[in-house]
Amino acid sequence: MPTSDPSTIHDLPTPALVVERSVFEANLAAMDAVLPGPRLRPHVKAFKSTALAARLAADGHTSFCCATPKEVEGMVAAGLGDDLLLANESLDVARLGALADRANITVAVDSDVTLDAAIAGGIRSVLIDVEVGLPRCGCDPADAGRLAERARAAGLDVRGVMGYEGHLMMVLDRDEKERKVERSMSLLVAAAADVGGDVISGGGTGTFDLNTWCTEIQAGSYTLLDTDYAKLGLPFEIALNVLSTVVSVSPKGWIVADAGLKSMGMDHGNPSWEGGDVFIMSDEHVTLVPGDERPIGSWSVGDRVRLQSAHVDPTVAKHEQMWVVDGDDVVDRWPVDLRHW
Amino acid sequence: MPTSDPSTIHDLPTPALVVERSVFEANLAAMDAVLPGPRLRPHVKAFKSTALAARLAADGHTSFCCATPKEVEGMVAAGLGDDLLLANESLDVARLGALADRANITVAVDSDVTLDAAIAGGIRSVLIDVEVGLPRCGCDPADAGRLAERARAAGLDVRGVMGYEGHLMMVLDRDEKERKVERSMSLLVAAAADVGGDVISGGGTGTFDLNTWCTEIQAGSYTLLDTDYAKLGLPFEIALNVLSTVVSVSPKGWIVADAGLKSMGMDHGNPSWEGGDVFIMSDEHVTLVPGDERPIGSWSVGDRVRLQSAHVDPTVAKHEQMWVVDGDDVVDRWPVDLRHW
């Protein structure tokens, strides 16, 4: 960490993303216990940071999943290009084909058009993306074999299939989730038989330990977590907070801090605050109503609060860096260097 | 615009912010007809771009409003520092005091602590921020005179008051809105009498033409607009779209494009699509269900769609630039250079 960076949490400019190192490390250990090494293909879209990715690679997770061409490019630039999967359809893949001599890049395709783009763009390896119940990308399972054949005829390495059961991540009942994941993955396994190759890629933080059909799991949110995933009773805890400074205290009973909705992913709703209720989110403010434990009269301008976001991926994507802390000490700075497209 | 930039909209990498020049210019003209020159203090938080701000300055709006110290710094660096107001409380104002010889910077204060920070930080001018009904910043109106006196005793120029009736922006009925704004502004006008100075700053796009109590209106969203403001029947139209490429077409009846929730402010809900319904927003995808006008069979991978955001400010803040278009021609690129904090 550059010596010009703040050394204590009290000196961080706010709003700031703060990662509790001990919680983060415990999350990594909990995941490694179930999915060691290549059984996990960490999804960088959740944290968009090559510094965090390098920490995972040090634990033996050297194959990564990306959602955008920009994420792939950044991982290659950071020397993390052993096995990168663009787990998403894109027509803008020639920029990745141009990196084929420097990294091992695989791209998902689900149609003739995306396959043509991969061929024309100099992509060497593909996975056939199969729709397994989430209304998003992925071909009809019955079409997977045909696409694989076309890809091989064009000289591409078809490594296997991927299919994301994203619609099942937040199913609360474990038995119900297991049944539904099995049904969803049966489509993928059948398509894998048609496609060939040895990769069956899918899953996520919400199904990491019960999706036993995939050869590798695409999880990323487990590293930092959020209040939405925290509802599932997984062996992961919230490691990421948005640190904020109180800039106004009203005798009417609220305090205002400087973490607004521009610092927070809002698609899953407001962040949470352990000290009371989140009343209003504005662009650059949050209005908080303190609970009984610490009444309004004890709050001062300059106090700091920590908010927990409801969705970690878009929250991280709004910031330039994460600050890693151990108690009050700032021990590292992770640039969020994989943002944009 | 650099010659390396795309010259037509078809060549823009997606997702991309696209500004329709004719709509944008019409919005500016509609505002100027009501609030010419210094009657408007454009709020840069809505668009976070010094290039767009320079366009407004060319029309005679040379005093600007900012929500963050970073926005103030960027405006100074861009030579737009004639009259900058940080319309927000901050303890991190010494960085602005350091610019006092290069620009005319005024900071809002609403407490002894924020006033002390302004004094210690070398700030030369302040407005007293008064709470006028929005549960956020602003002092008790009865305390405004005392703060002004303290500020003057410390040698600061107290230019007047500000108070933001943000809770009234979205009142649909015009008569009701006018009554409520009058009641809200009566608090501000009374505080102004206690404070002195010649500035009464407030208002926004939603009250720009009926807040006649303020000497200057802090509007910014009118330049680009969004679907939320479009409900109000104001003389402004939506100039900003998120351009997106279709990457997957499902025979089940949906298409998938590459503008996900990381490219869109989501606090006011999903974006809108003129071609049909927005079904699901994912991190990097939007699943759309086309309407009857253009059935699913006519859609192809590679087609492009435009989405209208529900909240312009956080949408712009997620992008590195806006592309200004005139029909299919890309005529300018505006860097979104005032992001972060």
Which residues in chain B are contacts of A300 at CB distance < 8 A? 113
Mean pLDDT of all residues in A141-170: 97
Cα–Cα distance for residue pair A169/A207, rounded to 1 Å: 6
> Could you read off the pLDDT tens digit of each residue along chain B, which spans 341 residues?
566 889 999 999 999 999 999 999 999 999 999 999 999 999 999 999 999 999 999 999 999 999 999 999 999 999 999 999 999 999 999 999 999 999 999 999 999 999 999 999 999 999 999 999 999 999 999 999 999 999 999 999 999 999 999 999 999 999 999 999 999 999 999 999 999 999 999 999 999 999 999 999 999 999 999 999 999 999 999 999 999 999 999 999 999 999 999 999 999 999 999 999 999 999 999 999 999 999 999 999 999 999 999 999 999 999 999 999 999 999 999 999 999 99
Domain residue spans in chain B? 9-15+236-335, 36-218
Please name the member of A68, A135, A280 whose beta carbon is closest to the beta carbon of B284. A68
Q: What is the ipTM of this complex?
A: 0.97
Beta strands in chain B (DSSP E): 16-20, 63-66, 83-86, 105-109, 125-129, 157-163, 199-202, 216-217, 240-249, 255-257, 272-273, 276-281, 286-290, 304-308, 321-326, 329-335
Angle, vertex CA B126, rays to CA B183 and CA B53, nearest 5: 85
DSSP percent split of chain A into helix, strand, coil, nearest 5: 35, 25, 40
Q: H or E element: which one contains B116?
A: helix B112-120
If DSSP states are collapsed to H, E and C, what string results for A88-155?
CCCCCCHHHHCCCCCCCEEEEECCHHHHHHHHHCCCCEEEEEECCCCCCCCECHHHHHHHHHHHHHCC
Please name the member of B13, B68, B284 whose beta carbon is closest to the beta carbon of A88. B284
pLDDT for B1: 59
State yes or no: cis peptide before A38, omega within 30 of 0. Answer: no
Correct CATH for B9-15+236-335 of 3.40.140.10, 2.40.50.100, 2.40.37.20, 2.30.38.10: 2.40.37.20
Q: Which CATH architecture describes the domain A36-218? A: Alpha-Beta Barrel (3.20)
Residue A261, chain B, CB below 8 Å: the answer is yes
Residue A120, chain B, CB below 8 Å: the answer is no
Cα–Cα distance for residue pair B148/B297, rounded to 1 Å: 67
Residues near A142 by beta carbon (within 8 Å), at least 6 away in sequence: none
Residue B308, chain A, CB below 8 Å: the answer is no
Cα–Cα distance for residue pair B277/B285, rounded to 1 Å: 14
Mean pLDDT of chain B: 97
pLDDT tens, residue by residue, A302-335: 999 999 999 999 999 999 999 999 999 999 999 9
pLDDT tens, residue by residue, A111-153: 999 999 999 999 999 999 999 999 999 999 999 999 999 999 9
pLDDT for A1: 60
Residue B137, chain A, CB below 8 Å: the answer is yes
Contact call for residues A320 and B70 (beta carbons, < 8 A): no
Which residues in chain A are contacts of B90 at CB distance < 8 A? 247, 258
